[in-house]
Amino acid sequence: MTSDIGDKPQPLIEHLMELRTRLIWSLAAFFIAFIGCFAVAKHLFNYLVYPYKWAVIWAHLDVAKSQLIYTAPQEFFFTQVKVAMFGALVIAFPIIAAQIYKFVAPGLYKNERAAFLPFLIASPLLFLMGAALVYFFFCPMVMWFFLKMQQSPTDGEIAISLMPKVSEYLSLIMTLVFSFGLVFQLPVITTLLARVGLLTSAWLAQKRKFAIVLAFVVAAVLTPPDPMSQIGLALPTILLYEISIYAARLVERQRSRQALEESSASSDIVSKDD
C-alpha cells in the first residue's frame, strides 16, 4: 500500500475478522429492522394495497366490494413475513452499504474513495425513484388492465371477477419494484464501468439501436401484454440509457482533464530541472 491510503497492510486473518464485523453489523441492522417491520406488517401491506385501490377507482368499480383473499391458513402470515423482510431490506440498505464501503475503503486511494462515495448516494436514490414510479403509476396501471378483463353477468354471461390472493399481489408488486429499481441502476453501473475504462460513450452510442430493442423485449417479458405497460417500462429504460451515455462522456472529459493536468505538471517539473 502507498502512503496515499493511510492504512497499514493487514494479514488475511485480520481481513476476515473485519469482514465478520461488517457482516454482523449488517445482519444486526437487518434483524432489528425486520422486527420493527413485522410488528406493523399488516399496516405496511395496507399501504402496498393502495395502488390496487387506485386501479379499482380507475376501472369505475366499487372499492367497498373489492377485496384480496388468501386460500391457506398460513398464507397471510407468511405474506406479512415477506413484507417485513422487504421493508427491513429497504430500511437497512444504507447501513449495509456503509458497512460494504468501510470494508473496501482501506484498499482504495483517496481519489478513489471520493469517486466511490457519490455512487453510494445515487444508487439508493435511483432505486427509490424506480420504486416510486411502480407504486404511483405502473402498478395501478397494471392492476387496472387486469381489472378491465372482468366480465359482468349481463346478456346471460357468467360473471368473471378478479379476486387476487395476498401472496400473489405482493409477489407482483415486489417483482415490479425490484425490476424497476435494477433498471434505474443503469446510469450508476455504466458510469462505474466507464470510470474503470471498460465502456466508452462512443460504444454506448453505437449500440443505442440494440439497447432500444432490448428495452422493449425486457418490457414485454416483465409487464402484462398491453402496449401501455410495455411502453411504461421501455421509455424510462431508454431515457436512462441516454443518461448513461451522457454520464460516460462526463467521466471521459474528467479523465482527459486530469491527464492534461498531470502532463502539464510533468512538463513544469522537467523545465525546472533543465
DSSP for 125-151 reads: HHHHHHHHHIIIIIHHHHHHHHHTT-B
The pLDDT value given to residue 5: 44
- Quick check: 247 pLDDT over 90? no
Contact yes or no for 102/36 (Cβ under 8 A): no
DSSP for 19-63 reads: HHHHHHHHHHHHHHHHHHHHHTHHHHHHHHTHHHHHHHHHTT--G
Contact yes or no for 45/131 (Cβ under 8 A): no
The pLDDT value given to residue 270: 55
- Quick check: 264 pLDDT over 80? no
CA angle (88 as vertex; 84, 90 as ends), nearest 5:
120
pTM: 0.77
Of 191 and 31, more confident: 31
What tens digit of pLDDT does each residue of 41-77 get? 999 999 999 999 999 998 888 888 888 999 999 999 9
What tens digit of pLDDT does each residue of 150-183 get? 887 776 778 888 889 999 999 888 888 888 888 8
Cβ neighbours of residue 69 closer than 8 Å, sequence gap 6 or more: 163, 164, 165, 166
CA atoms within 13 A on the CB side of 12: 0
Region 122-142 average pLDDT: 87
Distances 200 to 40, 53, 119, 193 between C-alpha atoms, Å:
47, 45, 18, 8
Chain mean pLDDT for the chain: 82
Confidence of residue 207 (pLDDT cuts 50, 70, 90): confident
Region 191-207 average pLDDT: 81
Confidence of residue 149 (pLDDT cuts 50, 70, 90): confident
The pLDDT value given to residue 155: 65
Among the residue ranges 19-23, 120-124, 202-206, 218-222, the one predicted with the least confidence is: 218-222
Q: Residue 20 burial (CB < 10 Å; 0-12/13-18/19+)?
A: exposed
